[in-house]
Structure 1
Amino acid sequence: MASADPYFDFLLRMGDNTLILGHRVSEWCGHAPVIEEDIALANTALDLIGQTQMWLGLAAEVEGKIRTADDLAMLRDAWDFRSALLVQQPNGDFGQTLMRQFLFDAWHLEMLKGLIKSSEVRVAEIAAKAVKEVQYHVERSGDTVIGLGDGTAESHAKMQAALDLLWPYVGELFTPDAVDDAMTANGIAPDLNDLRTAFDAHIGAILSEATLTIPDSTFAHKGGKSGFQHSEHLGHILTQMQWLQRAYPGASW
């Protein structure tokens, strides 16, 4: 359920996106096809969780209820999460994971570049730190999409299938609602419509080089932002992610 404070909700969105995707990516640890990719994915997950700490830490301060970033990550239920549907999607095969990563990275980079100019100093500071990591993320994921898309017949087919599967979720990232409108009006966050042009140019160039075709599909529903609809995968993610805290409340070591 949305809170009464659009700023708090916006911070949750930023932190929940990186938290859920960071957890998804971490699932590859020890399972990636080669050790270099195993290490690279683990490092990406660590970057995303580090960003989560900053976003949810600020959200906790703004909320003013003595909750911490850990409380927001580990003690909320699924309906209170604001993560986009894209980051909730299963890893699938390696190509699907990298396609999901690239689509998110391309959006994430443009969002952070806009947030560097935020009227909220803390938001601008977090964005300035995170954008350095995300610049590397998008370069790496883009290069991998090109390598697999323009690789063998099998790798090309798998990458096209991944794009066909995940592309419908991209629309949510650029569909503004009342929270987004409030953030734009107050100069806290950029207008999502303004991000789309740069995103499309970036995506188009990479996918063209990868010999992949953007499917003719549209985003049918907004779920992750509203907090009322989530993919069936979110509950599974939280079951894994929150198990220790739920089983042993307040445990420390």
Structure 2
Amino acid sequence: MVSAPTHAPIGYLLHLADNALVLGQRNAEWCGHGPILEEDLALANNSLDLLGQARLLYQHAAALINNDADLAQRFLHLQGARVEGRLTEDTLAYFRDTAEFRNLTLLELPHHGPLAGTASGDRDYATTIARNFLYSALMVLTWQRLQTSADAQLAAIAAKSLKEVRYHLRHASDWLVRFGDGTEASHARAQTALNHLLPYCQEFWTGSEAETQATNNGTGVDLPGLKTAWDALVDDTLNAATLARPASDGHVTQGKLGVHSEHMGFLLAEMQSLARAHPQAVW
């Protein structure tokens, strides 16, 4: 008798997909605004990589939902946006509301540091680079482990994504070192970005129900077990950049539980508006 394949929990797949989609959206905001042409293209390619990862994960999640009547009941509110009665990657990306997204809060923050989402301010490339570095360091370790996931499709996605995120980490690390070991002004901006963003990384190590389920059935990664390796990656680069590692204690955000910052609603409104205005459109 052939045993049924093991699949990652839907919540876990959505967490991974939402992370990629939201950071891809943020990085894409640099398109046409990059500090130099080469970086304009680099961030656009980074965003395309993340969008591709999100698509594969949403496709996997949608197929599992469509094949399970009980799961499908949880997503009935998206029925108006379905194509022929079935969920797709588009319905999961464009027709869920803020509280239904499970991305890390770090990834939804605007590029201009601590300013509110409605404030005007120059884009800060140091904030973008620091965030990409902190997140990519996590995902290099995560995708590496997920290559042996009991969910064969997730393992295949991990193998593809690992190649991409290794480049993302190298790109962000190189620029962080340039900033930190560069001029007095670039060092100060990089340090300010790290001081602002590093506390949000506490959320990496706080578990969710979906992550616990994925770890227990062999489809996911025990993130707290990656902290030592992540710390080493971060510290090595910060030392090369002559940047100080700030304290990272304080309030722990809960984006992965659906509790988001005020910035998330603005981001989704911009990203989802066209699809929601024309829910049955075929592109």
- With normalisation by structure 2, the TM-score equals 0.85
- Residue 252 of structure 1 deviates from its aligned partner by 2.3
Q: How do 1:179-190 and structure 2 match up within 5 A?
A: 179-190=210-221
Name the CA shift for 1:219/1:115 in 2 (closer, same or farther; >3 Å).
Answer: farther
Q: How do 1:3-14 and structure 2 match up within 5 A?
A: 7-14=9-16
- Residue 30 of structure 1 deviates from its aligned partner by 0.4
- Residue 219 of structure 1 deviates from its aligned partner by 4.9
- 1:224 alignment partner AA: G
Q: Does 1:113 pair with 2:113?
A: no
- With normalisation by structure 1, the TM-score equals 0.95
1:82 and 1:225 in contact (8 A); partners too: yes
- 1:73 alignment partner AA: A
- Residue 221 of structure 1 deviates from its aligned partner by 2.5
Q: How do 1:116-127 and structure 2 match up within 5 A?
A: 116-127=147-158
- Residue 222 of structure 1 deviates from its aligned partner by 3.6
Counterpart position of 1:250: 280
Alpha-carbon distance between aligned partners in 2 of 1:10 and 1:188, rounded to the nearest angstrom: 9
Name the CA shift for 1:139/1:219 in 2 (closer, same or farther; >3 Å).
Answer: farther
- Residue 6 of structure 1 deviates from its aligned partner by 7.5
Alpha-carbon distance between aligned partners in 2 of 1:191 and 1:237, rounded to the nearest angstrom: 29
Alpha-carbon distance between aligned partners in 1 of 2:177 and 2:59, rounded to the nearest angstrom: 36
1:148 and 1:159 in contact (8 A); partners too: yes
2:16 and 2:54 in contact (8 A); partners too: yes
Q: Which structure 1 segments of 5+ residues have no match?
A: none
1:11 and 1:55 in contact (8 A); partners too: yes
Equivalent in 195, 209, 223 of residue 192 of structure 1? 223
Alpha-carbon distance between aligned partners in 2 of 1:21 and 1:146, rounded to the nearest angstrom: 22
2:8 and 2:219 in contact (8 A); partners too: no
- 1:238 alignment partner AA: L
- Residue 136 of structure 1 deviates from its aligned partner by 0.6
Counterpart position of 1:235: 265
- 1:81 alignment partner AA: F
Instruction: Indicate the structure (1 or 2) with the bigger Cα radius of gyration.
Output: 2
Deviation readout 1:17-62 (Å, 9 max, x if unpaired): 0000000000000001100000000000000000000011111112
Name the CA shift for 1:125/1:219 in 2 (closer, same or farther; >3 Å).
Answer: farther
2:94 and 2:271 in contact (8 A); partners too: yes
1:26 and 1:45 in contact (8 A); partners too: yes
- Residue 217 of structure 1 deviates from its aligned partner by 2.5
Name the CA shift for 1:108/1:201 in 2 (closer, same or farther; >3 Å).
Answer: same
1:21 and 1:48 in contact (8 A); partners too: yes
Alpha-carbon distance between aligned partners in 2 of 1:122 and 1:101, rounded to the nearest angstrom: 26
- Alignment coverage as a number of residue pairs: 248
Q: What is the CA RMSD across the aligned residues, in angstroms? A: 1.3
1:29 and 1:38 in contact (8 A); partners too: yes
SS of residue paired to 1:28? coil
Counterpart position of 2:91: 71
2:8 and 2:151 in contact (8 A); partners too: no
* Displaced runs of 4 or more, over 3 A: none
